[in-house]
Amino acid sequence: MNRNARGLATVLLLTASVACSTESKTERGTGSDSVPPAGRAHSQSNGGAVPPLSTARGVVLFAGTSLTAGLGLSPDSAYPMLIQRKIDSAGLPFEVVNAGVSGETSSGLLDRLGWLLRARFDVLVIETGANDGLRGIPVSTLRANLETALDRIKAKRPDATIVLVQMEALPNLGAKYTSEFHNVYPSVAAAKHAVLIPFLLNGVAGDRSLNQADGVHPNNTGERIVADNVWKALRPTLEARAFAAVGGGRRTTADSVARR
């Protein structure tokens, strides 16, 4: 278990019961396709509906938990919105949609996946598993849910790029559980040909100065670090897709990284 995961345990153990309670309320009464995305990563909420998007720009859809939704922050400050600013600064032709849902487990992601697949996207970033870890959900369930989700996405959108965000479990669940939990992400990403982003909360988890009062969700300063973590891994993927879209041929992520 790395330092960030140990730090995460210190602060999350105090709030795990609260988070699980929130999760139960979120998931209760939700059936297949019933939970809509939170909407486009812009400052104005539109009641959960994905707004019309310009066909001239690709779409990066973020599907995740409260960490993606930006719980406790203004919509403009959630990391997907910060990613949009980085995309614009880099001159890349992509528009971000934030479909984060607080309290969601990997099973909840599967429940609304059909809804998400009706939206237009070129890149789908999946951040899930944090609430599975808080509840001690079997790793086999997490793995099966991730594999099923990625298979369904690939079947419906074979040309889309899937990006999987590494999450970590709490050390109090035991070394065997935390190790198996960690290993699910690189294993599934490799098997399903997804891009793997390192641990979302690297450099933030366990640092009280970078988190809100609950000790779980990043504050504005911490959220900027989270955005940097995601951007380092996501940018080469977006550059490769943009390069291919203008007729330059498909460039691999490795090629993109090598040129920077």
Q: List the chain domain ranges.
A: 3-16+55-258
Provide CATH code, domain 3-16+55-258.
3.40.50.1110
Read off the pTM. 0.79
48: nearest Cα among 57, 61, 39, 35? 39
Query: Which residues have CB under 8 Å from 115's CB, separation 6+?
Result: 33, 34, 35, 36, 37
Most confident of the following: 18-22, 45-49, 142-146: 142-146
**Model confidence pLDDT, tens digit, residues 61-77:** 999 999 999 999 999 99
Q: What is the pLDDT of residue 246?
A: 78
State the catalytic residues.
66, 214, 217
**Model confidence pLDDT, tens digit, residues 124-163:** 999 999 999 999 999 999 999 999 999 999 999 999 999 9
Q: Please give the DSSP secondary-structure letter assigned to residue 97.
A: E
Distance, in Å, from the CA atom of 188 to the CA atom of 156, rounded to the nearest integer, reads: 18
